[in-house]
Amino acid sequence: MTIITNNNLKCTIAQAALQNVLDPEIGLNVVDLGLIYQIDFDETNLKIYVAMTLTTQFCPMGESISNAVKRALENTFTDMEVQLEITFDPPWSHERISDEGQIFLNQ
């Protein structure tokens, strides 16, 4: 589970905020589930670019999860606008789940 970023410090803060965003079906947060691919910060235009995926392209909760990611980041970085992109290239795979996530799913 590696998140590509251009700002390690802010990415750590963003990840902490996203720990509260759960996939409601699985009960695991989007970071440990490996749904977040990239978080870039544009300090000039005050924008955050997020590339994320879903466990399946046909996830009926997809809209809800992506909106929750956007809201969580906007509440943390209040002066920045979030631009979010859902991608399935590459598709999500279980290798992206963090060690903590694996322990949770194996319970």
DSSP per-residue codes, 30-81 = TTTTT-EEEEEEETTTTEEEEEE--SSTT-TTHHHHHHHHHHHHHHHSTTSE
Q: With contact defined as beta carbons under 8 Å apart, do 85 and 50 qualify?
A: yes
Q: Would you tell me how many other CB atoms lie within 10 Å of the CB of residue 40?
A: 16
Identified binder of another protein from the candidate list 9, 58, 79, 99, rule CB under 8 A: 58
Q: Decide: is 87 part of the binding site for another protein (CB under 8 A).
A: yes
Q: What mask, x for binding another protein by CB under 8 A, covers residues 30 to 49?
A: -------xx-----------
Q: Decide: is 71 part of the binding site for another protein (CB under 8 A).
A: yes
Q: Decide: is 61 part of the binding site for another protein (CB under 8 A).
A: yes
Identity of the residue, 7 or 26, whose beta carbon is nearer to another protein in the bound complex = 26
DSSP character at residue 25: T
Please report, as ranges, the residues that interact with another protein according to CB under 8 A: 4, 20-22, 24-27, 37-38, 51, 55-72, 75, 85-89, 94, 97, 105-107
